[in-house]
Amino acid sequence: MLLYFHGGGYCSGSIQSHRRLVTEAGRRRELRTLAIAYRLAPEHPFPAAYDDALSAWQFLRNQGIAASHIATGGDSAGAGLTLALISRLRDAHEELPGCAWLISPWADLTMSGSTLASKAAVDPIIHKEYLNELADAYLPADMDRKDPRVSPLYVDFRNFPPMLTQVGSDETLLDDAARLAARAGAAAVAVTLQIWPQMIHAWPLWNAHLEPGRRALENAGAFIRNALEH
């Protein structure tokens, strides 16, 4: 089973916008999929999405599905929700999913990544000013942006399940993904970081017309099946 949280900066995106990505990932490796329409800001700021992620997990567990048979995944903000959910489960001493799949993760809402500047000229989608607007809409004004519930770069990764992180070389969020993989790896997590040449933010969304998008989904499906079978 793949439990998937869509991207959109906690303010947009839907199970419709991500339908093809999720269904193709499942179809390629015969995984059942569940995509979640969590509540969005600014109407529903933190912790709405954070709590909805836990509710989705509990729904699957209440169906009798073993935690080790569930892969959790997401792109951009959805990748952040994925990591926040795993951290929440670990801290509550609950069983954890079998693996995590992260596409173009937005992991640091302090916006301290170096590639926010160095890749700004080549990334056609995501820029620092836009991310700040999204963060302002999602977070309470007095909230620390290093809080690991919203910036999973600062999570304690000990005992996390295997992680696959896929990111494009032309993304302003490239440094978020690289730092995330390094921190998880330093905590003895089995991490695979794939940097796809000349790809942009969440490129597997365009898999219908983009061959690297299809290959990324194929790689992700293989990773998930291997992790859940072990």
Cα-based distances in Å from 197 to 32, 49, 83, 171, 203: 30, 32, 25, 10, 11
DSSP 139: S
Q: How far apart are the first and last CA of the chain?
A: 14
Active-site residue among 24, 87, 104, 171?
A: 171
Active-site residue among 6, 18, 24, 76?
A: 76
Known catalytic membership, residue 17:
no
Strands of 65-148, DSSP E: 71-75, 99-103
d(CA 154, CA 56): 23
Number of H helices, E strands in the chain: 7, 6
Known catalytic membership, residue 201:
yes
Known catalytic membership, residue 76:
yes
Rg (CA), the chain: 16
As annotated, the active-site residues are: 76, 171, 201
